[in-house]
Amino acid sequence: MTRSKIFTMTAAMALTATTAVAGSDLEVAIDGGGERLTSDQIAELLIGKTVTAKSGDKMFHFYYHPDNELEGELVSGGWKGTGAFAITDADQVCVSMAADKGRYRCLTVVRNGETIQKFDAKGKMTFELLSFEPSTGL
């Protein structure tokens, strides 16, 4: 292959890779005026609170224990789980439910007006956080 063909193919591949990432839910939220929360803001929002969250058409309650334990339940019943969470210095909350077998999923938290959402590593919106109630557990 000639140098120009290699350059053209490389540029096209780079553009395709960039396009695949561009326009993620996270980027749309940030571009729409959303603000990534800091680790301190995330801690204030979650720790010691029962959080009502929505994912698709399902509603959940999660309780973030001050000792980094996590309880969750599907509001309509049918699922309950426990796990752990950590808030990182990189401004993310990472969660691991028992079914994850020790794997943590780290999420970016964004506030846009009154709306607060969590986004996974690929920028997909996973949960909208609807309410935060001081609590001692589920």
pLDDT in tens, 14-57: 333 333 445 899 999 999 999 999 999 999 999 999 999 999 99
Tell me the pTM: 0.79
pLDDT at 48: 97
Phi then psi for 64, rounded to 5 degrees? Answer: -100, 95
Distances 79 to 47, 76, 86, 126, 138 between C-alpha atoms, Å: 22, 9, 22, 17, 13
Alpha helices, DSSP H, located in the chain: 3-21, 25-31, 39-46
Instruction: Decide if 123 contacts 26 (C-beta within 8 A).
Output: yes
Rounded CA-CA distance 109/32 in Å is: 15
Domains of the chain, each with CATH number or no CATH: 23-134 (2.40.128.640)
Q: Indicate the DSSP class of residue 1.
A: -
Ramachandran category for residue 96: left, alpha or beta (phi over 0 → left; psi -120 to 50 → alpha): beta
Distances 113 to 8, 41, 120 between C-alpha atoms, Å: 43, 15, 20
Rounded CA-CA distance 12/67 in Å is: 49
pLDDT per residue over 72-108, tens digit each?
A: 999 999 999 999 999 999 999 999 998 888 899 999 9
